[in-house]
Structure 1
């Protein structure tokens, strides 16, 4: 992942659960937040955060949205190939 993304407002293309997990970890760390910081704010458990950041493909979608919200991120869906 391009570290420059963290300093910009550009979009990030996510193709796998691992991509999402790596992105979430990098953004969290760039905001100097720990996994423990996310737990209470996103109303989730430590195991979930670990699994999300490790790219587990079967994490609960609403919890993913909660974590993204805490990190100030959102999901935007567009037609394939228009990125």
Structure 2
């Protein structure tokens, strides 16, 4: 579970690198400046959530609410 902005940044960095794209590539893909991606990956807590979620999606991250899977249980 991601519980801090630093952990989110670390996971975003890993996901982006796994795709073989640069911070600039990711920034261009979601229409933000490269500085936003740099700050996000460093765990800056003031990052805008909508842009952070767009970056995560563009880097191939899948964000889910753990409570949903706990309450719904496995599919039958």
TM-score when normalising by structure 2: 0.80
Cα deviation for residue 54 of structure 1 reads 0.2
**Number of residue pairs aligned between Structure 1 and Structure 2:** 68
CA deviations on 1:11-54 (whole Å, 9 max, x unpaired) are xx111100000110011111111001101111111111011000
- CA-atom RMSD in angstroms: 1.2
- Where structure 1 has 5 or more consecutive residues not aligned to the other structure, the ranges are 1-12
Distance 1:43 1:17 in 2: 21
Which structure's CA Rg is the greater one? 2
Aligned equivalent of 1:64 = 52
User: SS where residue 66 of structure 2 aligns?
Assistant: coil
- 8 Å CA contact retained: 1:65, 1:74: no
Q: Counterpart of 1:50 in 2: which secondary structure? A: helix
User: What TM-score do the two structures reach when normalised by structure 1?
Assistant: 0.74
Q: Which structure dedicates a bigger proportion of its chain to helix?
A: 2
Task: After TM superposition, list the pairs within 5 Å mapping 1:4-83 onto structure 2.
Answer: 13-79=1-67
